[in-house]
């Protein structure tokens, strides 16, 4: 079924569903051209944290974007208010398949008929959670990494996505300082995350087997790769619970994957040591976010 592309994009808002670490960062990028972004979250605490983050970062990030100027942000706990006349809706809720199925059924019912519905899922293909969607031709994966620092995006069809959506996003998204790359066939982990998952898994295996420590792996990585952080510090940033969820998803698809990395992660998660957000993970962090 053909999809009617959204019109008058310059004068219509973007909606972000979820005010967590990535949701607020995604929203930030869509404020860089002076437009309106609405963020939906039922948690007042998450909404307040998102507001503080955006107030601090909107002006400097817009200044670094070509033709940029700070936009406006509305944070709401009312889904219809968030979706009203949005040309693009980006889901950024936790990596739970049941939750994503519920959310996308609601988005398909409530969003404007020409709205593009995108998931920021880091591990699930949208084909896995569109069983309640009547218009799968407007749904796709649009996976962000950690903007405004890591600004590549994977885009991937749900198997029904109108190709014109891909063309529109490839042309439009760079205006906001983010850069889309299309996965041309369905791939768990898309492009970069599929490669990164193998790196994380092997780093975890090296520690789980007692070969090295998280700190030594990271120091070697920094020296050899010339990066400011290694795999374990980056996993702390993401959240070890999220990393474990992703690893469990890969293992469900491929039972031959080693169990050691998941067992190591589970020890930390069971102890409540989730990384930066709890102040303790593979590292101790002074100021939990």
| Same domain (yes/no): 174, 236 | no
Do 95 and 213 belong to one domain? no
Indicate whether this model's pTM tops 0.75: yes
Q: Are 243 and 266 in contact (CB under 8 A)?
A: no
SS3 content of the chain, % helix, strand, coil (to 5): 45, 15, 35
pLDDT of res. 287: 63
Phi and psi angles of residue 265, each rounded to the nearest 5 degrees, phi first? -60, -40
Statement to judge: residues 213 and 254 lie in one domain: yes
From first to last of its 289 residues, what are the pLDDT tens digits of the chain? 567 999 999 999 999 999 999 999 999 999 999 999 999 999 999 999 999 999 999 999 999 999 999 999 999 999 999 999 999 999 999 888 999 999 999 999 999 999 999 999 987 899 999 999 999 999 999 999 999 999 999 999 999 999 999 999 999 999 999 999 999 999 988 999 899 999 999 999 999 999 999 999 999 999 999 999 999 999 999 899 989 988 998 999 899 999 999 999 999 999 999 999 999 999 999 864 4
Whether 264 and 143 share a structural domain: no
The tokens describing 182, both together, are 């299309």
Evaluate whether residue 106 is within a structural domain: yes
In sequence order, the 6+-apart residues with CB closer than 8 A to the CB of 73 are 27, 31, 36, 37, 38, 39, 50, 51, 54, 58
Closest CA to 120 of 99, 106, 137: 99
Q: How many domains does the chain have?
A: 2
| Cα–Cα distance, 111 to 16 (Å, whole number) | 12
Name the nearest CA neighbour of 71 among 111, 41, 27: 27
In this structure, the answer to whether residues 97 and 206 fall within a common structural domain is no
**Rounded CA gap, 201 and 257, in Å?**
9
Whether 188 is covered by a domain: the verdict is: no
pLDDT value of position 288: 47
* Pair 136, 160: CB distance under 8 Å: yes
Tokens 């996308």 correspond to 104
Quick check: helix, strand or coil at residue 235?
A: helix
Q: Please tell me the predicted confidence (pLDDT) of residue 249.
A: 85
Examine the domain organization and report whether 57 and 143 are in the same domain. yes
Q: What is the SS3 assignment for 122?
A: coil
Per-residue model confidence (pLDDT) at position 1:
56
Q: Domain limits at 269?
A: 193-278
């Amino acid at each position: 079924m053909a999809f009617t592309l959204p019109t008058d994009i310059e004068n219509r808002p973007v909606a972000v569903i979820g005010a967590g670490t990535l949701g607020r960062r995604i929203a930030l990028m869509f404020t860089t051209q002076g437009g309106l972004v609405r963020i939906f979250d039922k948690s007042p605490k998450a909404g307040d944290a998102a507001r503080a983050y955006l107030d601090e970062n909107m002006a400097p990030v817009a200044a670094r974007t070509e033709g940029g100027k700070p936009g406006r942000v509305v944070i709401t706990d009312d889904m219809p208010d968030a979706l009203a006349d949005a040309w693009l809706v980006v889901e950024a809720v936790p990596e739970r398949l049941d939750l994503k199925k519920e959310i996308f059924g609601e988005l398909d019912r409530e969003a404007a008929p020409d709205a593009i519905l995108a998931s920021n899922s880091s591990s699930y293909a949208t084909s896995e959670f569109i069983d309640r969607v009547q218009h799968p031709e407007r749904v796709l994966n649009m996976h962000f990494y950690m903007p405004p620092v890591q600004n590549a995006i994977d885009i991937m069809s749900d198997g029904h996505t109108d190709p014109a959506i891909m063309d529109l996003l490839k042309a439009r998204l760079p205006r906001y300082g983010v850069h889309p790359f299309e996965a041309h066939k369905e791939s768990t982990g898309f492009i970069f995350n599929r490669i990164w998952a193998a790196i994380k898994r092997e780093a975890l295996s090296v520690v789980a087997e007692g070969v090295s420590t998280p700190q030594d792996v990271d120091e070697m990585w920094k020296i050899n790769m010339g990066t400011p952080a290694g795999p374990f510090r980056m996993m702390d940033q993401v959240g070890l619970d999220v990393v474990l969820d992703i690893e469990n998803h890969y293992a469900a698809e491929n039972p031959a994957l080693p169990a050691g990395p998941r067992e190591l992660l589970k020890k930390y998660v069971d102890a409540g040591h989730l990384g930066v957000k709890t102040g303790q993970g593979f590292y101790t962090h002074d100021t939990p976010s």
